[in-house]
Structure 1
Amino acid sequence: MHPLKMLLAYASAYRAQIRLATLYTVLNKFFDILPEVLIGAAVDVVVRGDQSFLARKVLLGFGISDTWQQLLVLGSLNVLVWCGESFFEYLLELKWRGLAQDIQHDLRLDSYQHVQKLSLSFFENQRTGALMSVLNDDINQMERFLNGGATQIIQVLCSSVMISAVFFALQPGIALIALLPIPLILFGAFWFQKRLAPRYAEVREAAGDVSARLNNNLLGLATIKAFATEALEAEHIREASDRYRSANARAIRFSSAITPVIRMAILAGFTATLVYGGWLTLHGGLEVGAYSVLVFLTQRLLWPMTRLAEVADMYQRSMASTQRALGLLETPIGIAYEGQHLRPEQARAALQFEGVNFAYAETPTLQDLTLSIAPGQTVAFVGSTGSGKSTLVKLLLRFYEPQQGRILFDGIAIAELNLQDLRRCIGYVAQDSFLTDGTIAENIAYGVDGASEAQILEAARLSESLEFIERLPLGFATRVGERGQKLSGGQRQRLALARAILKNPPLLILDEATSAVDNETEAAIQRSLAVVSQGRTTLIIAHRLSTVRQADCIHLLERGRIIESGRHEDLLARGGAYAALWRLQTGEQA
């Protein structure tokens, strides 16, 4: 579908406002061309006196013979015309700009909300910076077109129709000559437009590349500094910016040719009107006032068309951006959100995995996984990197869907549950927990509406976060910075655990939550777990076996299969793979 049709379909809720804005634009253009008519009438009055147009009983059926009175009438009409033009220009600017802001706002929100619903597999082939470019730059580009480009297109069409009507009323012969360049101008504009489209699509892609590179480098600034690769990354940015500049230059070279071509066509039409109209006036075929009107209106008709170059340029940039933004909005959502509702306070979190298989591309990660987890159990999954531990959690959270098999939550397949309800039943603490750029209290209460100060304080106490929070100058009101950068890794993890505790979910998941923290923080998290895991199902994904010693059951995974299961002491006594891994981590001799 053409991007303009996509945009009009998306903005269907604003059709009434678009019609009103178009009406204001038409009325503004109507009053805008009247001064030229009044100028012609004034010339007619000055030259012909009591034989003028106004003196021949054409104004409301009454003639005005006195020349001074005729000029006063024209002056009064001129005031009304200018007031009308200014009034409708205010209304059209107000309406079009308001529409641009509203549609931009809606599209950005809808696109962002849609992106949030896409499965993680979508983001595997996307760069964050490129998505940022679509959600920000592309939508802003569309807004700029609605701010000015749409009005200009309507005004060119209106002026062509209105001025053509005046031309044919005054002198059909000159009308044909004056209007002759218009088809050539329009053909040239559309010809250039068609060839600009792929060039501006290339520009938007290059802009996305620059944004992606900048976003990646800003997130990895500490690593760049540590490896002293500032010059290397500056060169990468220069190369990406050069590609953007080159793509823009190719589009600019083409778009810059539009105006000179249109000017040549305008020159031909204006010269023909000036010369032929003057010849008719000298030979009595056209009145002086009418000649003045035609000359002025020819300029008003043709010269604004030089802005078609600017409009075509803005239009193509906007359509390239619109296609990217609305194309993102049309990306299918792979995981359905609707389903059977489940209240967290009624859930028991009994889990069953029945023949679950999953693979990233062609690489199997889980193979025929089958197990049951009773409500209230603390179960750990351990194994080497790539054994499928974290994948199991991602399937449970429905970040991905298994290729075969199913997962049941309280006896119901999770694919049949309302996705938001399922996730509200789960408290998730990841290895690299996300913190918002807000206060400590806001981060602990994240996702829990109406949490009281007492509840936040209790969650902080249970996660053993209270001690370091109280040492901060502003306590719970301390802002943590972007992604919690003002806090240490251990402090961030304790806040993430406090957030999960405050949620009070029937199922608690720790996905490598202690893998990147110091021993003190690990011990604090273990103490917290011993308390908060009571009465709730708890899954612990861990690399350090010391983290899971107290679990009710430990499953050792290898290449997506469970190869050993049991309690810590039983697995050590068995002397198998788990025992060997324990000796490796603790340094014990065989």
Structure 2
Amino acid sequence: MSAPHPLKRLFGHARRYRRDVWLASLYSVLNKFFDVLPEVLIGVAVDVVVNRKDSFLARVGVHEPKDQLVLLAAVTALIWVGESLFQYLYDVKWRTLAQNLQHDLRQQAYQHVQRLEMGFFERQRTGNLMSILGDDINQMERFLNGGANDLIQVFCSSLMVGAVFFALTAKLAFLSLIPVPVILYGAFWFQGRLAPRYAGVREAAGTLASRLSNNLLGIATIKAYTAEAYEAEHVRQGSDAYRVRNAEAIRLSAAITPVIRMAILAGFTVTLLYGGFLTLNGELGVGSYSVLVYLTQRLLWPLTRLADMTDLYQRSMASIERVMNLIDTPLAIPYEGRHLPAGSVKGALTFDAVHFAYGEQPTLQGISLTVPAGHTVAFVGTTGSGKSTLVKLLLRFIEPQRGRILLDDTAIGEANLQDLRRAIGYVAQDSFLADATVADNIAYGLPTAGRDDIVAAAVAAEAHEFIAQMPQGYDTQVGERGQKLSGGQRQRIALARAILKNPPILVLDEATSAVDNETEAAIQRSLERVTRNRTSLIIAHRLSTVRHADTIYVMEQGRIVEQGTHDALLALGGQYAALWRLQTGERAGGNPIADSV
């Protein structure tokens, strides 16, 4: 079963604009009706000058030639006013519709993207998504701005001019209008072959955007490794692929206009010659002949724009298809579920035989543990042991393949996703900061917070001192992704953000692994205060960060291999004790290596 047409899919998502579409289309039709009439009036004027009291107007009751011309002038003025009025109306209506639909579609697409599971983003390139949300939606707007009106008016012009032809002389009409179906068929023939080419163009554009986005985000690394020429070559290859795809489409679309011109020439020549012969033989009036010549020009010449219209149409359809496919991407993790009212969450967690694997590689193998409300637990182990996957499962970035996780007595898979995440404060290794002020970033997710609460959270995170020294204090702009701040400053603002949220559960995923010793000490002091009476999960490589946890779990290849307090694990002499000696430089007996040097 073939997929619905992109336009049908588009307007299926924009039902509230259907009235605007119908009105805009009506204005386009009325404008074309008034646009065709001046050519008819030229023929009537020629008829008045040539036949005078025997003219068409004389036969309908206006006998004096001068009165006939005055009437024609008045009617002409009305026609031009009508044409101008409806041109204004359709222009405003189509452009407003384009802007509104563009805005709504981008919002709808972006909001849907935010609801997709993290696995979707691991499969997609950021640049490709940016291309869809940006240029593809803009391409749709360009089509509605002008292309839709052009298509409607070409269709209406063909019908209206054809009706006039047949009313004046059916014999000539058949011959003169033969090129029209040929032209329209040719345009659709080209259109069908352009569609896959422009789909390829949009894919190439997305690939190029991904490369550019990736390089701009990693510009420091590119410079540090003097890889400018290497990456410039990658961009050249992506740009060249985009250019080649465009060239394939251009070669085909450029052929449309010459073919249409030849068909137009045939139609115009038939009207000029055959109509002229009929007029010379007295079978067709001079005025009617003038009308037919002008109308042939008016009908056929705009058809040369079918090339541009077809090109714009196919580009837009390819873009709309990509946008609609993104919006129609199903949600793997539903948002709806049992509500968890604010303040009712105690924070007890249970991992019950949880399994998870990325592809064929198991990451968690039957993890079972219980975290009482208000306790602090830590997860340590080598890279790839499954520590961060536990956090992703708790936040429902991903779903377990077997087993379940309980928050208090509710399986988190049955809970409302937004309520679940509101109950968790999350601080990652590389915390995201918005391109906004320091205050805005601390209040991120809690925009109603007052300045006093923001400052109190910054004080608790030991961030107030350096914030106060900034040029505008809490109103200082941090730059894109917080680039105006050091790594340690970003982490302390991220911690202040979690503290302000005041969640029953706090999760720190390698929050101190990339900071200096002074910042780590500051964060550690903050954690000792904010984790009291709050369920806290800490993932860390630096064991000094977790030594005061109520329970420490040592993980290896997706399993818990040791658990206990810091002192108990050191006494056990297993993997944790070995990691501790490695990081602190202590020998098995507990003396620093430095003491023996």
Query: Could you tell me how far 1:303 is from its partner in structure 2?
Result: 1.0
2:315 to 314, 317, 322: 317
Cα distance between partner residues in 2 of 1:43 and 1:443: 75
**Which residue in the other structure is 2:14 paired with?**
11
Cα distance between partner residues in 1 of 2:293 and 2:197: 38
Letter of the aligned partner of 2:556 in structure 1?
E
Does 2:445 match 1:447?
A: yes
Question: Is contact 1:344–1:506 with CA below 8 Å preserved after alignment?
Answer: no
Question: Is contact 1:433–1:492 with CA below 8 Å preserved after alignment?
Answer: yes
**Which residue in the other structure is 2:40 paired with?**
37
Query: Could you tell me how far 1:179 is from its partner in structure 2?
Result: 1.1
Cα distance between partner residues in 1 of 2:358 and 2:341: 32
Query: Could you tell me how far 1:230 is from its partner in structure 2?
Result: 1.0
**Which residue in the other structure is 1:124 paired with?**
122
**Which residue in the other structure is 1:476 paired with?**
474
Question: Is contact 1:344–1:505 with CA below 8 Å preserved after alignment?
Answer: no
Query: Could you tell me how far 1:449 is from its partner in structure 2?
Result: 3.1
Does 2:201 match 1:203?
A: yes
Question: Is contact 2:43–2:288 with CA below 8 Å preserved after alignment?
Answer: yes
SS state at 1:284 partner: coil
Cα offsets for 1:251-298 (capped at 9, x unmatched): 000100001111111110110011111111111101101110111111
Question: Is contact 1:138–1:324 with CA below 8 Å preserved after alignment?
Answer: yes
Cα offsets for 1:395-422 (capped at 9, x unmatched): 0000000000000001110000000000
Cα distance between partner residues in 2 of 1:64 and 1:146: 45
Matches within 5 A, 1:56-71: 56=59, 58=60, 63-71=61-69
Query: Could you tell me how far 1:65 is from its partner in structure 2?
Result: 2.1
Question: Is contact 1:427–1:500 with CA below 8 Å preserved after alignment?
Answer: yes
Cα distance between partner residues in 1 of 2:117 and 2:71: 70
Does 2:234 match 1:231?
A: no
Letter of the aligned partner of 2:304 in structure 1?
T
Cα offsets for 1:464-495 (capped at 9, x unmatched): 00010011111000000000000000000000
Does 2:192 match 1:194?
A: yes
Cα distance between partner residues in 2 of 1:165 and 1:195: 32
| Fraction of identical pairs, as percent | 67
Matches within 5 A, 1:139-218: 139-218=137-216
Question: Is contact 1:34–1:81 with CA below 8 Å preserved after alignment?
Answer: yes
Query: Could you tell me how far 1:165 is from its partner in structure 2?
Result: 1.1
Cα distance between partner residues in 2 of 1:10 and 1:537: 43
Q: CA RMSD in A?
A: 0.8
Query: Could you tell me how far 1:4 is from its partner in structure 2?
Result: 2.3
**Which is worse superposed, 155-164 or 396-405?**
155-164
**Which residue in the other structure is 2:486 paired with?**
488
Cα offsets for 1:485-517 (capped at 9, x unmatched): 000000000000000000000000000000000
TM-score normalized with structure 2 length? 0.97
1:76 to 50, 74, 77: 74
SS state at 1:380 partner: strand
Query: Could you tell me how far 1:11 is from its partner in structure 2?
Result: 2.4
Does 2:334 match 1:336?
A: yes
SS state at 1:342 partner: coil
Does 2:29 match 1:26?
A: yes
Structure 2: segments with no counterpart, 5+ residues: 589-597
SS state at 1:344 partner: coil
SS state at 1:428 partner: strand
Question: Is contact 1:43–1:289 with CA below 8 Å preserved after alignment?
Answer: yes
**Which residue in the other structure is 1:307 paired with?**
305
Letter of the aligned partner of 1:587 in structure 2?
G
Letter of the aligned partner of 2:35 in structure 1?
D
**Which residue in the other structure is 1:414 paired with?**
412
Question: Is contact 1:273–1:295 with CA below 8 Å preserved after alignment?
Answer: yes
Structure 1: segments with no counterpart, 5+ residues: none
Matches within 5 A, 1:225-264: 225-264=223-262
Cα distance between partner residues in 1 of 2:298 and 2:12: 33
Question: Is contact 1:348–1:506 with CA below 8 Å preserved after alignment?
Answer: yes
Cα distance between partner residues in 2 of 1:10 and 1:439: 36
Question: Is contact 1:130–1:211 with CA below 8 Å preserved after alignment?
Answer: yes
Cα offsets for 1:126-171 (capped at 9, x unmatched): 1100110011111111111111111111101111111111111111
Query: Could you tell me how far 1:13 is from its partner in structure 2?
Result: 2.0
Cα distance between partner residues in 1 of 2:31 and 2:62: 29
Question: Is contact 1:111–1:329 with CA below 8 Å preserved after alignment?
Answer: yes
Cα distance between partner residues in 2 of 1:224 and 1:175: 68
Query: Could you tell me how far 1:43 is from its partner in structure 2?
Result: 0.8
**Which residue in the other structure is 2:348 paired with?**
350
Query: Could you tell me how far 1:10 is from its partner in structure 2?
Result: 2.0
Question: Is contact 1:104–1:143 with CA below 8 Å preserved after alignment?
Answer: yes
TM-score normalized with structure 1 length? 0.98
Cα distance between partner residues in 1 of 2:513 and 2:117: 26
SS state at 1:54 partner: helix
Question: Is contact 1:511–1:540 with CA below 8 Å preserved after alignment?
Answer: yes
Query: Could you tell me how far 1:239 is from its partner in structure 2?
Result: 1.1
Cα offsets for 1:309-347 (capped at 9, x unmatched): 111111110111111110011111100100000023111
Question: Is contact 2:440–2:447 with CA below 8 Å preserved after alignment?
Answer: no
SS state at 1:364 partner: strand
**Which residue in the other structure is 2:382 paired with?**
384
Letter of the aligned partner of 1:484 in structure 2?
G
**Which residue in the other structure is 1:554 paired with?**
552
Cα distance between partner residues in 1 of 2:257 and 2:205: 26
Query: Could you tell me how far 1:5 is from its partner in structure 2?
Result: 2.1
**Which is worse superposed, 141-150 or 427-436?**
141-150
Cα distance between partner residues in 1 of 2:439 and 2:7: 46
Letter of the aligned partner of 1:177 in structure 2?
L
